[in-house]
Structure 1
Amino acid sequence: MKAPIVEIFSSFQGEGLWIGKRQIFVRFAGCNLSCNYCDTPNSQNASNGVLKSPEEVLEKINELKTPDLHSISFTGGEPLLFPDFINEIVDKTDLKIMIETNGTLPDSLYKIKRMNCVSLDIKLPEHFDGDWDENILNNEFLSLKSLVENNIKFYCKIIISPSTNLDVIKRIGEKLHDKFMDEKFTIVIQPQSPIEQWKNNSDILFDFSELLGEYFEVFTIPQTHKILNIE
């Protein structure tokens, strides 16, 4: 079994609730979506990856281990295009496992044998050039349902820009609350990079936080690896 891999590298997690943790990132090539804000566009096409076996990936992981290593992050592209490949690695390591996913492949998410944390994007219509539809959101909700039912640690990430419509966020927040009324889970609002664009627009971040804070625990966290100028 082989999968297209763009890169395997060690760095600090720059996003979400495991921010600052030393991780080994396994970046897959290939994605089922085409987001217009993607900061790794070369990972969208599977042909940009090099086919590697789980054994080759594990060998590289072992080479990159450091005393401060916290976990492995499977990212992309979209890692859940390759659930069986991920399971091959999960079976052969005792390191903590993080999955960074767009959440639109609930059946594949359900297949992963062990996940210590899942970062699940909630995609907005503005993230696409005309090809967003309600099925994207519905599949993300199915993925969330699976995570909740299986008691897996996760958070939702919503990437916003200064032009993001507050009413769109309000509608999605209300839909999330309606479907998961008994769950008090976490949403990370991620201001889109570069951070300079927020210099005169930072006030709206409080509006988004207050709106979602009615139903959820909310963090507002930028991409710190961009600020530090590291991968």
Structure 2
Amino acid sequence: MRVSISEVFTSIEGEGIYLGTKTLFIRFAGCPLRCFYCDTPYALSIGNGTYYSIDEAKTIIARKVERGTFKANFTGGEPLLQHEAVRELARYVRDELLLKTYLESSCYDASRFLHVLPYIDICKIEFKLKDSNAIDDKHYTRLLENEMLCLRHAIASRKVTYIKVVLSSLSKREEVEELARMIFEGDASKAIDGFVLQPVNGVNEPTLEHMLAMYDAVHQYYPNVRIIPQMHKVMGIP
């Protein structure tokens, strides 16, 4: 087995509920989606990464781990595109390097997600809105179904689980409200550890009024919703 990796580095977590933690980032190359706001276009093609054997990748990861690191973030690109490699490396990081493992994924494939889940401690389930242009309209419903399945798998496995939704000026309140309703019908709110609305940076940035409307759309179903920008961009770090 070989794995295409774009980069491995230590930085400060700039997103989500673990904002500010010292994190080892393992960025996998390749992504089947094409979000207009993608901030790592260099990792979209699997061919743009460097190919390693699993043992070589383990050696690189071990060398990059710094003292006091809180977690290892498996990101991309889209890590589920190389799910077999993610499973092996996550097992190694968790069981041998004794770090918490964190999966940052668009959750486009629930079967691949389920394959890596046993070795993941923290799941960020990202729901793509239609305005993201991640996928064409014909296949959007299928993407949403997979995201919902991944959320259910993570909750059933008692993982630390939180939701992220990227907002732009093109995002529709009605869509966000319906998404929140779908997610939180039943007792899901008791099992979810956070709901983050992340405004895009640059093209189609939402106004404060727009962000507050989206906040209200979620808040009626889940009061612990938060609006958090990508703080690593504010700090000027990778």
Report the TM-score, using the length of structure 1 for normalisation: 0.92
Aligned to 1:109: 113
Aligned to 1:192: 200
Runs of 4+ with >6 A deviation: none
Tell me how far 1:196 sits from its aligned partner: 10
Pick aligned residue for 2:220 from 214, 224, 231:
214
Aligned to 1:141: 148
Tell me how far 1:130 sits from its aligned partner: 6.6
SS at match of 1:74: strand
Aligned to 1:37: 37
Number of residue-to-residue matches in the alignment: 227
Aligned to 1:98: 102
CA distance 1:165–1:91, shift in 2 (3 Å): closer
Letter in 2 for 1:207: A
1:230 to 2:230 alignment: no
Aligned to 2:8: 8
Tell me how far 1:68 sits from its aligned partner: 2.2
Aligned to 2:188: 183
CA distance 1:160–1:24, shift in 2 (3 Å): same
Tell me how far 1:195 sits from its aligned partner: 9.7
Asked if structure 1 preserves the Cα contact closer than 8 Å seen for 2:170 and 2:204, the reply is no
Tell me how far 1:204 sits from its aligned partner: 2.3
CA distance 1:73–1:130, shift in 2 (3 Å): closer
Letter in 1 for 2:230: Q
Cα deviations by residue, 1:104-134 (Å, 9 ceiling, x for unpaired): 1111111112111111110011011771421
Q: Could you tell me which runs of 5 or more consecutive residues in structure 2 were left unpaired when the two chains were aligned.
A: none
Over the matched positions of the two proteins, sequence identity in percent amounts to 27
Aligned to 2:180: 173
CA distance 1:126–1:182, shift in 2 (3 Å): same
Please give the root-mean-square deviation of Cα atoms over the aligned residues, in Å.
Answer: 1.8
Letter in 2 for 1:209: Y
Tell me how far 1:56 sits from its aligned partner: 1.9
Report the TM-score, using the length of structure 2 for normalisation: 0.89
Aligned to 1:205: 211
